[in-house]
Chain A
Amino acid sequence: MRIVCPFCGERELGEFTYLGDAKSARPAAGASEDEVFDYVYMRDNVAGPMSEYWYHGGGCRAWLKVARNTLTHEISSVEPAAGVGAKQAAR
């Protein structure tokens, strides 16, 4: 598996660290216990195309949003995660 970093180009997997599913969003501060529980502990554990966060610690140290198929490891897109990096990439 190689990931094409939008800032650094194609790099080997060892440069990246995995966080997990990018779909789940942190609940608002006033959210119910059920919502927080769901966010922290429950997983869709997708078999197929999944959107996920990777950190390019061995390169530009940007957080990336990668679309990858968990059945085949095929990567269909890589984009900067929301935040300052995304704005710089768009420039």
Chain B
Amino acid sequence: MKYSIFSLARAAFSGHKNWQRAWRDATPKSHYDVVVIGGGGHGLATAWFLASEYGIRNVAVLEKGWIGSGNAGRNTTIIRSNYGLPGNTGFYELSMKLWERMEQDLNYNTMVSQRGVINLYHSDAQRDAYARRGNTMRINGIDAELLDLAAVRKMMPFLNFDNARFPVQGGLLQRRGGTARHDAVVWGYAHAASALGVDIIQNCEVTGFVRDGSGKVTGVETSRGRIGAAKVGMAVAGSSSRVAAMAGMRLPIESHVLQAFVSEAIKPLIPNVMTFGAGHFYVSQSDKGGLVFGGDIDGYNSYAQRGNLPVMEDVCEGGMALMPMIGRIRLLRQWGGIMDMSMDGSPIIDKTPVDGLYLNAGWCYGGFKATPGSGLVFAHLLARDEPHKEAARFRLDRFRRGAMIDEKGQGAQPNLH
């Protein structure tokens, strides 16, 4: 069905009792042209781009739980393209442009809100670093503005500007950045992909790969039986190493837990997405009024989808340094997701050494903003067997070649990215 003002009015007059399902909950067929493992944002976006851009409609998305039950439903919903290194700048701007037309493309309200992302700076050195980043962005055709103290004061008068240790001096603003409704993104891609014939198969856990005599992957074993496939793509985030191990591969990835937090609802306060530059704290306010915020990963390997108190304390301290008045707001919810931390902090989208198996992983804790871009470039790789031009640097062998894309310059220590 197509959503429009007319379908909304029709449904309103019938008491909203006659809405059709947004997408089909399919049962597996015996064979597909492409099987995508992982029914999160990236997997569903990949399936939609395969069907809409590359004309491959005999596609299944396999999800071990329900779609969007992993990191797609656990993030802080921030979208931006303020990266600094070749490879990242082009790719994330491609993704940003796809966010800007997503609702029209998918015929689904994903609540994309370009409310701006501002990174605050607190020292002269940090201002210089942000000026450099902003210039890098602008050279690459991405919008960026360096704001001075007066401009930030006008935009966010409620900040603790006179913090003795970390005074706010200004910020780097990307006006086109903002937030999107994460669950709606999952459902929007499911809605649009399903309409083009993609099978979305839930409660279907991949338990192994089917391979022929030459070692080529020809399908997957699942909890709902064997499913044949000409090509298999993995988009399983924190589970990448576990799924790759079923094909006998080790990856340059560690799985770490990242926590996110929501406060009780308050009146409109924070007009944008903002980050504290002297610690690690990022926050926006949801339409329901809750402050949605997060910080660093916990820092130890984990598959547990829950974190510990020291990081919670650190994140809340960051918030308090910027906005002491939020100290009396109660924390409502907190949760954890499992991040596929790569060795340079950048993603891997490539063919694997195993014929017929394709990898989309290493998103660290920045996967949400990449959702549409990731879907497009992974679909391109699956359809054409060659990398999309904006993902040409995200190769699996770049670590061996020394062609790292390390935004933070931390080296092969994933918990520092």
Closest to A44 in B: B250
Known: A20-B254, A20-B413, A52-B301. 19 other contacts (CB 8 A): A12-B309, A17-B299, A18-B301, A40-B343, A41-B252, A41-B412, A42-B250, A42-B251, A43-B250, A43-B253, A44-B241, A45-B241, A45-B242, A45-B250, A45-B255, A47-B242, A70-B255, A70-B302, A73-B308
**Judging by beta carbons under 8 Å apart, are A1 and B250 in contact?**
no
- Interface positions of B from 199 to 258, Cβ below 8 Å from A: 241-242, 250-255
**Judging by beta carbons under 8 Å apart, are A71 and B313 in contact?**
no
A1–B312 CA distance with the chains assembled, in angstroms: 13
- The range of chain A's interface size is 20 to 34
Interface residues in chain B, defined as those with a beta carbon under 8 Å from any beta carbon in chain A: 241-242, 250-255, 299-304, 306, 308-310, 313, 343, 399-400, 412-413, 415
Partner of A50, one of B301, B313, B413: B301
Partner of A45, one of B254, B309, B399, B415: B254
A25–B400 CA distance with the chains assembled, in angstroms: 19
Given contacts A41-B252, A70-B255, A12 and B310 within 8 Å (CB-CB): yes
Closest to A34 in B: B400
Q: Report the minimal beta-carbon distance from A61 to chain B, rounded to whole angstroms.
A: 18
Closest to A43 in B: B254
A6–B271 CA distance with the chains assembled, in angstroms: 49
Tell me which residues across on chain B come within 8 A of A20, comparing CB atoms. 254, 301, 413, 415
A72–B313 CA distance with the chains assembled, in angstroms: 21
Partner of A73, one of B250, B302, B313, B399: B302
A44–B245 CA distance with the chains assembled, in angstroms: 9
Partner of A70, one of B303, B399, B400: B303
**Judging by beta carbons under 8 Å apart, are A14 and B251 in contact?**
no
For the complex, is A13 an interface residue (Cβ under 8 Å from B)? yes
Instruction: Say whether chain A's binding surface is mostly helix, strand, loop, or mixed.
Output: mixed
| Residue from B242, B299, B300, B412 with most neighbouring chain A CB atoms (10 Å) | B300
Instruction: Say whether chain B's binding surface is mostly helix, strand, loop, or mixed.
Output: mixed
For the complex, is A46 an interface residue (Cβ under 8 Å from B)? yes
Tell me which residues across on chain A come within 8 A of B412, comparing CB atoms. 40-41
Closest to A17 in B: B299
Tell me which residues across on chain A come within 8 A of B252, comparing CB atoms. 41-43
A44–B399 CA distance with the chains assembled, in angstroms: 16
A70–B255 CA distance with the chains assembled, in angstroms: 9
Tell me which residues across on chain B come within 8 A of A12, comparing CB atoms. 309-310
Tell me which residues across on chain A come within 8 A of B399, comparing CB atoms. 37, 41
**Judging by beta carbons under 8 Å apart, are B303 and A47 in contact?**
yes
Partner of B304, one of A14, A18, A42, A70: A70
Tell me which residues across on chain B come within 8 A of A44, comparing CB atoms. 241, 250
Q: Report the minimal beta-carbon distance from B207 to chain A, rounded to whole angstroms.
A: 14
Q: Report the minimal beta-carbon distance from A73 to chain B, rounded to whole angstroms.
A: 5
Tell me which residues across on chain A come within 8 A of B254, comparing CB atoms. 20, 43, 45
Partner of A52, one of B242, B250, B300: B300
Q: Report the minimal beta-carbon distance from B252 to chain A, rounded to whole angstroms.
A: 5
Tell me which residues across on chain B come within 8 A of A70, comparing CB atoms. 255, 301-304
A18–B256 CA distance with the chains assembled, in angstroms: 11
A68–B299 CA distance with the chains assembled, in angstroms: 14
Closest to A71 in B: B303
Tell me which residues across on chain B come within 8 A of A71, comparing CB atoms. 303-304
